[in-house]
Amino acid sequence: MAPSCSLTKHLALSMLSECGIAAIWRLNLAAADAHRTGHPAAAVAILEIAEAAEEAWLRAEGKSAIGG
């Protein structure tokens, strides 16, 4: 599972560098759309990328997801 984890992080960082913080919002919208249209596995995968992007963004801002 390590390769997919590093791939998830790579995708998240690439999207952040391309789109900035808007990438996190867009990924969450895409996950909701995937779930709504009957693609739960895709929704989970997209959410994993969104979470990795948010963690990277918070690290870059010097904050943690819990406790600010």
With respect to residue 17, please indicate whether it lies within any of the assigned structural domains: yes
Task: Tell me, letter by letter, the H, E, C secondary structure of the chain.
Answer: CHHHHHHHHHHHHHHHHHHCCHHHHHHHHHHHHHHHCCCHHHHHHHHHHHHHHHHHHHHHHCCCCCCC
With respect to residue 18, please indicate whether it lies within any of the assigned structural domains: yes
Range of the domain at 24: 2-61
With respect to residue 32, please indicate whether it lies within any of the assigned structural domains: yes
pLDDT in tens, 8-66: 999 999 999 999 999 999 999 999 999 999 999 999 999 999 999 999 999 998 875 55
Q: What is the pLDDT of residue 36?
A: 98
With respect to residue 33, please indicate whether it lies within any of the assigned structural domains: yes
Number of folded domains that form the chain: 1
pTM for the predicted model, two decimal places: 0.84
